[in-house]
Amino acid sequence: MRNWALIVFCTQMFLLPVGVMLNASPVAAQISSQNNTALDPEIDPNPYDPRREIRRLLISRLPPLWWMNEPEGFLNTFHVLIHIPKEWRGNPVSAVMAMCPEHDDVLWSALTTLELQPFYQDRRWPSVICRP
């Protein structure tokens, strides 16, 4: 019985400092600082994301079995490679041109150009540059 009491005492003496150290960790400090700060009304909780808007637009316009790469941005232009299945027949450049957003789309609030390039029959075709 005496050994059991000694083990419990030693365990408590060891776990107490560990618990104090965990509460004083940088993670605990970050959590407490996050809880203390109120949401600033000047900061938009949902900032404009051009990649998300491009994906939203093109996914809604892609025909079945077509797919696209992630938009790649450089300066104020984004490039998207659109893959067309081999079984499809038609002019891939004109098909991709029909996917350009309208001039009043939200996308143009942050972009000046959007480059869409078809990938059809194992090769890249000429790009279409969409502008507002």
Statement: residue 66 has pLDDT above 90: yes
Q: What is the 3-state secondary structure (H, E, C) of the chain?
A: CHHHHHHHHHHHHHHHHHHHHHHCCHHHHHHHHHHHCCCCCCCCCCCCCHHHHHHHHHHHHCCCCCEECCCEEECCEEEEEEECCCCCCCCHHHHHHCCCCCCCCHHHHCCCEEEEEEEECCEECCCEEECC
Express each pLDDT in 76-102 by its tens digit: 889 999 999 999 999 999 999 999 999
Residue spans of the domains in the chain: they are: 2-36, 50-130
Task: Give the model confidence (pLDDT) of 26-35 as tens digits.
Answer: 555 555 555 5
